[in-house]
Amino acid sequence: MGAKSLAGIAWFQLAILCFGVMDAAIKYLTADFGTWQIMFFRGFFSLIPIAVLIRQSGGLATLRTRQPLSHVGRALVGIAAAFCFFYAYAIMPLADVYAIGFAGPLFMTALSVPVLGEKVGWRRWIAVLVGFAGVMVMLRPGEGLLTLTALIPLAAAAFYALTMLYIRVLARTESNAAITFYFVVTMSAVAGIAMIPDWRMPVGWQWGLLVMVGVIGGVAQIAFTQAFRLTSPSLLAPFEYTAMIWAVLFGYLLFGDVPDRAIWIGSAIVIAAGLYIIHRETVLHRQSILAAKAATPREG
């Protein structure tokens, strides 16, 4: 593994840590503020580090877009994902939300068929079914825990997967700066309007924590961008599951939460299924590259 790949992994881990800190702060803030108000601060103040990204990417010219409607769709789905995740943090342990949220890659694989027209082989379909069996272990329907509350982070994972598919399409013609900028601007506008009926004036340290949520979220997005610029997604993807470490640590230290056995077993099943899907996609991608090279006519 080269120095470039190692640097990409380091940036990715920084992003995972930043998101962990941000989510713990959001969970803490939900005791005093509504979800929409927290989302507004998350979006508005993330514009500070994102402005740095825009400048480094070539200035305002990088915000030119050929797909305005796709940006709108990506933003609305992303807002739905953020709302479900933020709301789930208020009513569930942090690690439980993360564990159920790991179903994102499973949804992504399943949704890629109708949304992108991709072909998914039987091996990956089996992995998706096994992964959802792991989700059911965490939701424990036989014990009456399959409630609306438990389904909220699952809906968040589905919206997150749809967001990633939108980004796949946008990335063909749009810059990372444009994709990020239009999302946070839209989220700030929508959340800014929706929060008005339940607005609560922050006091003292609450201002600092709300601003921190936005800034550190923006830093995390920049770190993600840098990571994927340096390293292939297939190499980075398995490291996303290290987020569970921070969720368990912050959940225990700040809120006294300890995941039960069903969460550990179910998340292990989901992670294993997700890693297999990543492995199969990597193998198929390499095979397509080799097939393309073999089909290219050679001179001489």
d(CA 237, CA 222): 17
Q: Average pLDDT of each block of 10 consecutive residues along the chain (300 residues)?
A: 78 91 95 95 94 85 86 91 94 90 83 77 83 82 61 90 82 83 93 95 93 93 79 71 89 90 88 82 74 62
> What pLDDT is attached to residue 141?
62
List, as own/partner pairs, every contact residues 125-128 make where C-beta atoms lie below 8 angstroms and the sequence separation is at least 24, other chains included.
127/273, 127/274, 127/276, 127/277, 127/280, 128/273, 128/277
> What pLDDT is attached to residue 130?
87
Which pTM value belongs to this model?
0.85
In the chain, domain spans: 3-295
Half-sphere exposure of 155 (CA within 13 A, CB side): 17
Are 57 and 175 contacting, i.e. CB atoms less than 8 angstroms apart? yes
